[in-house]
Amino acid sequence: MQQTVVVAGGGIGGLSAALGLATKGFAVTVLEQASKLGEIGAGIQIGPNAFHALDYLGVGDAARQRAVFIDRLIMMDSLSGEQVANIPVDQPFRQYFGNPYAVIHRGDLHGVLLDACRRHASVEIVTRQSVRKYEQTDDRIKVKTSSGKIYAADALVGADGLHSCIRQQLVGDGAPRVSGHVAYRALMPFDKMPQDLRWNAATLWAGPKTHIVHYPLKGWEVFNIVCVFHDETRTEPAANEPGSSQEVLQRFAQVCAKPRSILEALSDWRYWVLCDREPIARWIDGRVALLGDAAHPMLQYFAQGACQAMEDAVCLAHKVHTRGGDIKLGLLDYQNERVVRTARVQISSRLIGDYLYHAEGVTRLVRNAMYGKRKADEWYSSLKWLYGGTGLDSTV
């Protein structure tokens, strides 16, 4: 008989898990609390490791069609305007890692996964169902939603994001850690983007306790703009709140004219108070597993939260399949495979935020001296642990 899985959450992680499991023969029900599935209007960077996962899920080409293939990742010093680092992600990079580095609108990436789920006969997506808790016996699980519905299945995947209620039942580690870092986001129409900054690159202007990111999206119709600063007074998580351009200009008053010209051209901002959690070693409870931000929420400095969620999905589907349908053993293998790798990305994301992107004083000078002279092949070998992974091996 076909085994069944409930996935809590229809974000990038949940839909990837649903697709992966359906491909392996499971019947999957995705329960999403929102009335409509979708993603926020912003961009996302996806490394070669995410393309490996998308290829495994059978949607790599559909994602490639909607992506912009940038040719460099560059870091600039936002005080002096000098270039700090230049990582070419052109043909030699693609050959080295077996896949490109690209940027894509979140709605497009989510849409590719959603279309594939909708086309798959073994995936059912139910909106307006907020998962509250689970109960399990040795061979079955019941998932309860706030509307009083009960879904019985063989397994539950908690892909319900940063504030996961499945995690609260499974781990019970309370609210996420508020980082004291705030991200403002906006989309800039191509024509409004300062002409001398219309680069085919993911550009990061690094400054003391601040940075600005920009890259082209949607066939160059718009640029994705993110700017981040430290604010210890914001002690509560926030997501997608209306922001103030006055605050942005004040926070970035010290940056040089070029990156500042981007901020001056924008008025329609949304902001997030960024959170993460300490890495944990236990993501499973019998027939229940956490995935994506529910398992390992991280600061976005490596641009890897969604990439790791897609890797999780591939690994989970692969492991339960390899165990011939023994779900508990498959989930255990999944946890054992993923914990160290994702914890490394969580920890490294904090470190590069503080010591690289937001460096000040002598740390800034060290950074500029260290990275300015690095050659492409040195970058590639230092990034192999991250972009070379498939989610199916133990490369950490």
- Give the interface segment with ligand FAD, choosing from 51-59, 74-82, 134-142, 161-169 (CB under 6 A): 161-169
Reduce the DSSP state of residue 184 to 3 states and report it.
strand
Smallest distance, ligand FAD to C-beta of residue 82, A:
24
Smallest distance, ligand FAD to C-beta of residue 270, A:
10
Choose which of 21, 28, 31, 339 interacts with ligand FAD (CB under 6 A): 31
What single DSSP character describes residue 37?
-
Examine residue 276 and tell whether it contacts ligand FAD (CB under 6 A).
no
Per-residue three-class SS string for 48-85 = HHHHHHHHHCCCHHHHHHHCECCCEEEEEECCCCCEEE
Choose which of 5, 6, 12, 70 interacts with ligand FAD (CB under 6 A): 12
Pairing relationship of beta strands 288-290 and 155-158 according to DSSP bridges: parallel
- Give the interface segment with ligand FAD, choosing from 32-40, 133-141, 320-328, 380-388 (CB under 6 A): 32-40
CA end-to-end distance (rounded Å), the chain: 37
**Residue numbers 169-208 binding ligand FAD by CB under 6 A:** 183
Name which of 342, 339, 351 is nearest 386 in CA terms. 342
Examine residue 366 and tell whether it contacts ligand FAD (CB under 6 A).
no
Examine residue 20 and tell whether it contacts ligand FAD (CB under 6 A).
no
Cβ nearer to ligand FAD, comparing 36 with 375: 36
Q: Phi-psi category of 230—alpha, beta or left, where left has phi over 0 and alpha has psi -120 to 50?
A: beta
Examine residue 33 and tell whether it contacts ligand FAD (CB under 6 A).
yes
Cβ nearer to ligand FAD, comparing 62 with 73: 73
CA pair distance 96, 109, nearest whole angstrom: 24
**Rounded to 5 degrees, what angle do the CA atoms 382, 93, 312 make?**
70
Q: Draw the binding track, 104-143, toward ligand FAD (x: CB under 6 A; -: no contact).
A: --------------------------xx------------
**Rounded to 5 degrees, what angle do the CA atoms 200, 202, 208 make?**
135
Q: Residues interacting with ligand FAD, by CB under 6 A?
A: 8-14, 31-34, 44-45, 130-131, 159-162, 165, 183, 226, 272, 274, 292-293, 300, 303-307, 309
